[in-house]
Amino acid sequence: MNVLLLGSSGFVGREIRRAFEGDHRVTSVSRRGSADSRAVDIRDSSALRALVAETVPDAVLLVAAYREPDFCEEHPEEAHRLNVEPARALARHLPAETRLLYVSTDYVFDGENPPYRETDSTSPISVYGQTKRDAEVALQGRANTTILRIPLQIGGGASLADCGFIGHMVAALQSPQPQQLDDVLLRFPTWTRDVAGAARFLVERGLDGIFHYSTPTGATRYALTLEVARLLGLPHEHLAPSREIIARKARRPFNSQLDDAKIRAAGYARHTPFQAVVRTVLAELPQDPLRNLA
Ligand SMILES: NC(=O)c1ccc[n+]([C@@H]2O[C@H](COP(=O)([O-])OP(=O)(O)OC[C@H]3O[C@@H](n4cnc5c(N)ncnc54)[C@H](OP(=O)(O)O)[C@@H]3O)[C@@H](O)[C@H]2O)c1
């Protein structure tokens, strides 16, 4: 398959790229470009159309987005430019026979009535969630279209600082500074590598419609950080649970658990446990002293 991957350098995109490469021809695209990805600004709809016309993909994977809720809350117009307009442009101009996979989020829900199935109404409570919902709406009714909703991502990178949520937890444990960590909002940290497998599964089987994919076990940031402390044998007495929601610019859902029975029934049931993900991510870091602790 000839695959056009938009957002290949990001946290999720780099695992999706890895999952498709080898068995498929992948054209990788990011905003800045690199030695092995093209630089195309997909906010520019003419550039996006030219890219599609040139590469003639069998499948387009739309992964690129502003994924920081606080950034989107402060920059709603800019968030709309990247998180909604490219989806609209692809809905209008992509040949009908080309498969489109769009990566969405659990933040399309308000978190009041979990767990959420694909048939539940969306109710975003942040600009980020609204933009992702608006992109989904733009794609509704298009044939050969898959929407994959995923929760908080955990995964690896070139360094601990590049490891997102896991990097933040380890940094909080390593720093001697007393710190309060959220102990209210339930999170469902799901491995980017498992998500990439889900994306490949859906595209290769040509499954249309909305699919949820999420780890089944939820915990707060505080509880997850303590689990990492136990796993690595690090002290955690300087960390305290915050029983009040720590104020941020964008509201977060209390519990936006995604019920992923539909994708499991379709045949994709991989769920790597949290501890195994943390161990793998740290072990794969090129040079990290924590490797010996894991
Ligand atoms: N991370 C999570 O916890 C999470 C949770 C739920 C859903 N999601 C969804 O998963 C998707 C991927 O998120 P992520 O965490 O991988 O994001 P990310 O790490 O911020 O990566 C964003 C990617 O988009 C590219 N990009 C940004 N602006 C672009 C532009 N104007 N034109 C072309 N490419 C552009 C970036 O390229 P450069 O590197 O060159 O800037 C990068 O490859 C998003 O749709 C997000 O909503 C993420």
Output the tens digit of pLDDT for each of the chain's 294 residues.
999 999 999 999 999 999 999 999 999 999 999 999 999 999 999 999 999 999 999 999 999 999 999 999 999 999 999 999 999 999 999 999 999 999 999 999 999 999 999 999 999 999 999 999 999 999 999 999 999 999 999 999 999 999 999 999 999 999 999 999 999 999 999 999 999 999 999 999 999 999 999 999 999 999 999 999 999 999 999 999 999 988 899 999 999 999 999 999 999 999 999 999 999 999 999 876 465 444
Residue nearest to atom 29 of ligand 1 (CA): 31
Provide the b/e sequence for 30-69 (b: ≥16 CB within 10 Å).
bbeeeeebeebebbeeeebeebbeeeebebbbbbbbbbeb
Inside any domain, residue 178: no
Q: Which of 151, 73, 70, 72 is nearest to 106 (CA)?
A: 151
Inside any domain, residue 233: no
Rounded CA gap, 166 and 152, in Å?
Answer: 11
Inside any domain, residue 118: yes
26, 31, 188: residue to mutate for ligand 1 pocket, most atoms within 8 A of CB:
31
**99-105, strands of its sheet edge to edge:** 38-39, 25-30, 2-6, 59-62, 99-105, 145-150, 209-212
- Which atom of ligand 1 is nearest the CA belonging to 33? 40
Backbone angles phi, psi at 31, to 5 degrees: -70, -45
Q: How many CB atoms lie within 10 A of CB 117?
A: 12
Inside any domain, residue 285: no
Distances (CA, A) of 89 to 65, 81, 83, 96, 252: 14, 11, 11, 13, 29
Which pLDDT belongs to residue 95? 97
Rounded CA gap, 94 and 199, in Å?
Answer: 19
Which pLDDT belongs to residue 290? 64
Which pLDDT belongs to residue 288? 62
Cα of 84 vs centre of ligand 1, distance in Å, is 13
Report strand pairing: 145-150 vs 239-242. unpaired
**Structural tokens at position 192:** 């980017």
Rounded CA gap, 166 and 158, in Å?
Answer: 13
Inside any domain, residue 246: no
Cα of 101 vs centre of ligand 1, distance in Å, is 14
5, 9, 12: residue to mutate for ligand 1 pocket, most atoms within 8 A of CB:
12
Which pLDDT belongs to residue 246? 85
Query: Total domain count for the chain?
Result: 1
On whether the CB atoms of residues 90 and 115 are closer than 8 A, the answer is: no
Inside any domain, residue 247: no
**Structural tokens at position 46:** 């003419």
- Which atom of ligand 1 is nearest the CA belonging to 165? 3
Which pLDDT belongs to residue 197? 98
User: CB under 6 Å to ligand 1: residues?
Assistant: 7-13, 30-32, 40-43, 63-65, 67, 82, 103, 105, 132, 150-153
Report strand pairing: 239-242 vs 209-212. unpaired
| Domain extent for 94 | 2-155+190-217+256-271
Inside any domain, residue 96: yes
Inside any domain, residue 287: no
Cα of 244 vs centre of ligand 1, distance in Å, is 30
Cα of 30 vs centre of ligand 1, distance in Å, is 9
Which pLDDT belongs to residue 173? 96
Give the CATH number for residue 139: 3.40.50.720
**Structural tokens at position 96:** 């009908």
Taking CA 141 as the corner, what is the angle to CA 140 and CA 142, rounded to the nearest 5 degrees?
Answer: 95
**Structural tokens at position 124:** 């975003």
Residue nearest to atom 39 of ligand 1 (CA): 9
**Cα Rg of the chain (Å, integer):** 19
Residue nearest to atom 15 of ligand 1 (CA): 11
Cα of 63 vs centre of ligand 1, distance in Å, is 6
Cα of 65 vs centre of ligand 1, distance in Å, is 4
